[in-house]
Amino acid sequence: MSSVNGVMAIPSIASYNASKGGMNQLTRVMVLAPADNNTRVNAVAPGTIATELAKNAVLTSEEAKARIMSRTPMTRAGRTLRDRLYRWRPADAQLHRAGLAFLGHPDERRDPHRNARSPQMSQQETTAPLPPLSGGCFCGRVRYEARPDHRDGYYCHCRMCQLAFGNTRAAFMNLRKSEVRWLQPPAYYVSSKIARRGFCDRCGTPLSFEFNDSTNMDLSVGSLDNPSALTPISHYAVESRIANWHVEDGLPGHRLDENEQIAKRWKSAYGDDVVPGVAATRDD
């Protein structure tokens, strides 16, 4: 995403110099902002966009065009409004609020961002690890320490979570099971054949959710000692979101019924004609 002109400006085309400087700065933002989450950014972009300015200033002959295309990753000029940049992890909250759109595909019900993450950087390339998070229940009996490598949360609107929390939605943080250490373990309610929910059996605080076959789990954001340490980045199960209790916040939404991995779990446990949800577990 850089070029010779990023270092040595071409005096005759000041507008190109200015746009190139802006592109170089955007590149730095895309690389540095997700670094706190140990996320590597990979991007391939055309070195020259086929605008009228480029045609008149740098693509002036077949020889000039061939010379420029020889050092362009895509070996052709980019087409405006058609070639876009993508990062292989859905929007980091800060970048999303800045107006940059990123695409991703949720493989896990509870983790629409983690499963599309780029490979972790090597230890030499990472920033200092984030400090641990602590939390627990209302009465203080159940306590935990968590060491996730991010500070992202999300809202789940599925009917099962609404009932489990006695609320219109549940706020979760998704992380690896190995990143959680229970100082005093919770009790568990087996909410279906495929998952269980952790809670305090003395005060009733909902604490966690986990699929039986997953290496990941959720912690309830409200059970953290400092819930403000997390930032919501998405909504899940939006098909059952309660409209008059929702205020549009600009965050992306994902449908539960479009997640093939979740559907596979339910069918494996309850049969091919199952309708995932509360009714299926009560008929069990």
Whole-number Å distance between alpha carbons of 205 and 186: 10
| Buried/exposed code over 225-250 (b: 16+ C-beta within 10 A; e: otherwise) | eeeeebbbbbbbbbebbeeeeeeeee
Residue pLDDT, tens place only, 212-258: 999 999 999 999 999 999 999 999 999 999 999 999 999 999 999 89
Q: What are phi and psi of 229, to 5 degrees?
A: -70, -20
Contact between 135 and 143 (Cβ < 8 Å):
yes
Contact between 107 and 116 (Cβ < 8 Å):
yes
Task: Please tell me the pTM assigned to this model.
Answer: 0.59
Return the higher-pLDDT residue of 104 and 68: 68
Whole-number Å distance between alpha carbons of 64 and 218: 55
Whole-number Å distance between alpha carbons of 122 and 218: 26
Whole-number Å distance between alpha carbons of 236 and 170: 10
Question: What is the dihedral sign for C-alpha 65, 70, 75, 78?
Answer: negative
Give the pLDDT band of residue 99 (cuts 50, 70, 90).
Answer: very low
Residue range 59-77: mean pLDDT, rounded: 70
Nearest to 130 by CA among 149, 152, 153: 149
In eight-state DSSP terms, residue 217 is E
Q: What are phi and psi of 125, to 5 degrees?
A: -95, -15
Region of poorest pLDDT, from 3-17, 25-39, 60-74, 191-205: 3-17
Region of poorest pLDDT, from 96-100, 130-134, 174-178: 96-100
DSSP string, 23-63: HHHHHHHHHHGGGGGTB-------SSB--HHHHHHT--SHH
Paired with 189 in beta bridges are: 197
Whole-number Å distance between alpha carbons of 98 and 118: 21
Name all domains of the chain by residue range, CATH numbers in brackets.
4-116 (no CATH), 133-283 (2.170.150.70)
Per-residue pLDDT, 124: 38
Distances (CA, A) of 86 to 29, 155, 232: 14, 24, 21
User: Is 241 strand, coil or helix?
Assistant: coil
Region of poorest pLDDT, from 52-61, 127-136, 179-188, 190-199: 52-61
